[in-house]
């Protein structure tokens, strides 16, 4: 974009902005001698699109950033869609909360004020809160919707805007598209009325979230126990909220479940939007749990639990044979699913249980469910799909017991219609306690699962393509794989291809009649099933300029063989497949 055009866009934005801080931010950038040396072109290269994850982006001025102007127009559109499509939305209320990130409080108050001005009653949390508590409140209060200001596990410079609908799950099509259309009709941000919160309180349109919500949430989490009170619960636990908002509620939930030996990592216990001890507050990232693991080693703790900054994800490590072993999201998901399904048999004559996982999560969950007679389905990537499908399954008469995705997201029952790192943490601690009473650890249990159903190893390979041409390159990569799919990968025959964009699975071993339609919505995802039972899934990321390849390998445990030996073979196969597929995809 030429400097003159860029300057005109920035000046027009400043004229329509409602925030003096972001206006000044743009003035400072426009004062630079060389506009090309600034990030102005990226700020005005497009705008943050409102989709099924709401909004998420880097904080700053401009349409391609998270700021008060973007939040104001999004909320104006949300209010219009709520009033148009949700019966009684104004009186049913909207729950609004946020985490402790930079600008989260300001954005939350703007959202509450704009909704209230539109005639919608609002329940606003008075302090930063975990995302699961907001989701719980939407369901508990029977609200018309909920808004959470959070960027979850993203780096410190990000913030976001997530919407729950009247079923207490994240929005999915066509709701997201209707909200986006309403946002397009929104006036300039400076013309959107944002009244003082005190005025809305006086008019009865704004109330503070009642403290009893936390009590109700903790009670609901307590009722999720599979083996309440059982096992040795006196062991040491190290917990970290990674500078987020989970510490108080997570520690209370653990204490009420009988786990009194919980120690928080002191450097990470209190909310801090700068995240000073981590570069990327995602529990999956290497090194993020170093402080927690060091404290566990120092204190002899048997379990490490870590939430991300808004406490909707969970990572865990357990002491096994003298060392701490951290689990992947797939491993922890399988352990939780297996524990729920085997330790708590369904009542005779009760509804059939249902288990859900995303299409990029380990196939082991489906194998276990099939063997135990449990209904199992895979959904598209993203917990919005798991939660909405769970609601549908319950309407169909199923008992939804658990859902997970490989990115450390877990949903136990229907307490929260989203991933919940706090309830999952309590159930993981319970698993450890019950197994300790039997002389076993979670590692022993994972080995036992492997001996019965096969040892699975998984890996994710990311390919980043930044810049203006990045998205084009990634799409070209996907198009090439569709046009000429591989017939063999690392010597392993491709026996089936699932194209989620075309909504079909094709059995390549059948010359005729090999295509089976899919019930899932269309998505730009390809899955390659191999003769060995391994699988590779390729998809573009929805939030990053990246293509992601998910590789899953299964190895049977031979008679008399130790499960770790089979796991080592599986991990070696994963590495071979990863290298071969990268070559096929030309990355």
Instruction: Read off the pLDDT of residues 227-248 as tens digits, 9 standing for 90 and up.
Output: 999 998 999 999 999 999 999 9
State pLDDT tens for residues 523-549.
Answer: 999 999 999 999 999 998 766 678 899
User: What is the pLDDT confidence band of residue 106, given thresholds at 50, 70 and 90?
Assistant: very high
Query: Among 381, 410, 439, which residue terminates a domain?
Result: 439
CA distance 66 to 69: 8
- Residues 179, 245 share a domain: no
Q: Are 534 and 554 in contact, with CB atoms under 8 Å apart?
A: yes
Return the pLDDT at 586.
Answer: 73
CA 58-382-152 angle, to 5 degrees, is: 35
Identify the active-site residue in 152, 273, 361, 523.
Answer: 152
Report the candidate in 552, 554, 549, 545 with the shortest Cα–Cα distance to residue 582: 549
Distance between CA atoms of residues 15 and 23, nearest Å: 8
Residue 492 lies in a domain: yes
Tokens of 268: 């990470």
Q: Answer yes or no: is 231 within a domain.
A: no
What is the CATH number for 350? 3.40.120.10
Q: How many domains does the structure of the chain reveal?
A: 3
Contact (CB, 8 A) for 492 and 326:
no
| H-assigned helices in 223-380 | 247-256, 290-299, 329-343, 364-371
| pLDDT digits 0-9 by tens, 305-324 | 999 999 999 999 999 999 99
Are residue 177 and residue 275 in the same domain, yes or no?
A: no
Q: Which two tokens stand for residue 114?
A: 């704009």
Q: How much is the average pLDDT of 61-83? A: 98
Q: Any idea what the CATH number is for the domain that residue 459 is in?
A: 3.30.310
Q: What is the pTM of this model?
A: 0.95
Residue 469: predicted pLDDT: 73
**Cβ(47)–Cβ(56) below 8 Å:** no
Residue 228 lies in a domain: no
Which ranges constitute the DSSP H helices of 484-587? 563-584
| Res. 2 pLDDT band, cuts 50 70 90 | confident
Give 473's pLDDT tier (boundaries 50, 70, 90): confident
Q: Average of pLDDT values for 570-585?
A: 91
Q: What residues pair up with 356 in beta bridges, in sequence order?
A: 377, 403
Mean pLDDT within 497-503? 96
Does some domain include residue 468? yes
Nearest partner of 523 among 549, 551, 545, 542, judged by Cα: 542
Last residue of a domain, one of 379, 409, 439: 439
Phi, psi of 69 (to 5 degrees): -65, -45
| Residue 507 sits in the same domain as residue 535 | yes
Q: Is 229 within a domain?
A: no
Q: Which two tokens stand for residue 328?
A: 């992947």
Q: Same domain, yes or no, for 130 and 261?
A: no
113-122, 266-275, 337-346: least confident range:
337-346
Residue 525, SS3? coil
User: Is the model's pLDDT at 180 over the cut of 70?
Assistant: yes
285 and 416 within one domain: yes
Whether residue 217 lies inside any domain: the answer is no
Structure tokens at 486: 């591989």
Strand partners, 94: 122, 145
For residue 66, being part of any structural domain is answered with yes
Q: Are 155 and 299 part of one and the same domain?
A: no
- What's residue 24's pLDDT? 97
Domain boundary residue, one of 195, 210, 225: 210
Give the Cβ contact number of residue 551 at 10 Å. 25
Please, which pLDDT band fits residue 467 given cuts at 50, 70 and 90?
low
Q: Kindly give the residue spans of alpha helices, DSSP state H, lying in 56-103.
A: 68-85, 89-92
Residue 513 has pLDDT above 80, yes or no: no
pLDDT cut 90: percent of the chain above it: 89
Residue 27 backbone dihedrals phi, psi, to 5 degrees: -60, -40
Q: Is the pLDDT of residue 468 over 60?
A: no
State whether 168 and 242 are in the same domain: no
Contact 534, 578 (CB under 8 A): no
Residue 587 is predicted with a pLDDT of: 62
Query: pLDDT value at position 489?
Result: 94
Query: Which DSSP state fits 154?
Result: S
Q: How confident is the model at residue 511 (pLDDT cuts 50, 70, 90)?
A: confident
pLDDT of residue 435: 98
Over range 101-113, report the average pLDDT.
98
Mean pLDDT of the region 19-25: 97
250 and 206 in a common domain: no
499 and 557 both lie in a single domain: yes
Cβ-Cβ contacts under 8 Å for 299 (sequence gap 6 or more) = 236, 238, 263
Question: How far is C-alpha 427 from the chain's CA centre?
Answer: 18
Contact 453, 371 (CB under 8 A): yes
Same domain, 296 and 190: no
Classified as helix, coil or strand, 40 is helix
Q: Mean pLDDT across the chain, nearest whole number?
A: 95
pLDDT at residue 139 greater than cutoff 90: yes
Same domain? 464 vs 427: no
Q: Per-residue pLDDT averaged across 179-191, rounded?
A: 97
Which phi-psi region, left, alpha or beta, contains residue 545 (left: φ > 0; alpha: ψ -120 to 50)?
A: beta
Residue 351, in any domain of the structure: yes
Would you say the C-alpha torsion 137, 400, 343, 437 has a positive or negative sign?
negative
- 573-579 average pLDDT score: 94
Q: Based on the fold, state whether residues 92 and 57 are members of the same structural domain.
A: yes
What length is written for the chain? 587
Domain ranges, residue 144 = 3-210
Tens digits of residue pLDDT in 361-404: 999 999 999 999 999 999 999 999 999 999 999 999 999 999 99
Annotated active-site residue 152? The verdict is yes
pLDDT confidence of residue 535: 96
């Amino acid at each position: 974009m030429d400097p003159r055009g860029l300057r005109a866009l920035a000046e027009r934005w400043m004229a329509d902005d409602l925030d003096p801080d972001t206006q000044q931010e743009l003035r400072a950038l426009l004062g630079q001698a060389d506009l090309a040396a600034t990030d102005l072109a990226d700020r005005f290269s497009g705008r943050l699109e409102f989709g099924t994850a709401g909004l998420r982006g880097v904080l700053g001025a401009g349409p391609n950033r998270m700021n008060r102007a973007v939040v104001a127009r999004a909320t104006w559109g949300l209010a219009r869609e709520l009033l148009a499509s949700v019966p009684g939305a104004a009186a049913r209320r909207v729950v609004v909360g946020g985490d402790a990130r930079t600008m989260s409080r300001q954005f939350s108050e703007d959202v509450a004020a704009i909704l209230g001005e539109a005639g919608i009653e609002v329940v606003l949390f008075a302090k930063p809160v975990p995302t699961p508590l907001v989701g719980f409140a939407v369901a508990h209060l029977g609200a018309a919707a909920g808004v959470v200001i959070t960027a979850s596990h993203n780096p410190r410079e990000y913030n976001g805007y997530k919407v729950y609908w009247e079923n207490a799950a994240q929005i999915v099509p066509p709701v997201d598209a209707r909200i986006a259309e309403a946002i397009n009709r929104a006036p300039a941000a400076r013309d959107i009325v944002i009244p003082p919160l005190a005025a809305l309180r006086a008019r009865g349109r704004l109330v503070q979230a009642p403290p009893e919500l936390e009590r109700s949430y903790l009670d609901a989490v307590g009722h999720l126990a599979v083996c309440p009170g059982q096992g040795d619960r006196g062991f040491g636990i190290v917990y970290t909220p990674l500078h987020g908002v989970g510490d108080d509620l997570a520690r209370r939930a653990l204490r009420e479940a009988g786990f009194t030996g919980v120690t928080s990592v002191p450097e990470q216990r209190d909310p801090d939007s700068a995240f000073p001890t981590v570069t990327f507050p995602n529990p999956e990232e290497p090194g993020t749990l170093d402080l927690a693991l060091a404290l566990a080693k120092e204190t002899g703790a048997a379990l490490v639990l870590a939430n991300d900054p808004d406490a909707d994800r969970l990572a865990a490590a357990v002491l096994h044979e003298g060392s701490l072993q951290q689990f992947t999201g797939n491993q922890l998901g399988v352990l939780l699913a297996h524990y729920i399904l085997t330790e708590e048999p369904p009542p005779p004559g009760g509804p059939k249980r249902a288990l859900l996982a995303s299409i990029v999560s380990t196939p082991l969950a489906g194998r276990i469910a099939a063997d135990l007679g449990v209904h199992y389905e895979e959904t598209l990537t993203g917990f919005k799909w798991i939660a909405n499908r769970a609601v549908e399954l319950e309407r169909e008469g199923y008992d939804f017991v658990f859902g997970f995705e490989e990115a450390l997201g877990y949903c136990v029952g229907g307490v929260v219609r989203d991933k919940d790192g706090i309830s999952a943490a309590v159930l993981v601690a319970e698993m450890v306690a019950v197994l300790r009473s039997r002389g076993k650890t979670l590692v022993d249990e994972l080995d036992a699962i492997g001996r019965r159903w096969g040892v699975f190893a998984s890996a994710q390979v990311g390919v980043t393509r930044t810049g203006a041409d990045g998205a084009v390159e990634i799409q070209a990569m996907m198009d090439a794989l569709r046009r000429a799919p591989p017939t063999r990968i690392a010597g392993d025959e491709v026996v089936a291809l699932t194209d989620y964009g075309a909504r079909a699975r094709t059995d390549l071993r059948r010359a005729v009649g090999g295509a089976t339609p899919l019930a899932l919505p269309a998505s730009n995802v390809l899955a390659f099933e191999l003769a060995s039972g391994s699988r590779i899934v390729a998809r573009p990321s929805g939030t990053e300029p990246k293509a992601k390849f998910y590789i899953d390998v299964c190895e049977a445990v031979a008679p008399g063989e130790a499960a770790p030996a089979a796991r080592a073979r599986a991990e070696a196969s994963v590495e071979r497949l990863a290298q071969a597929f990268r070559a096929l995809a030309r990355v």
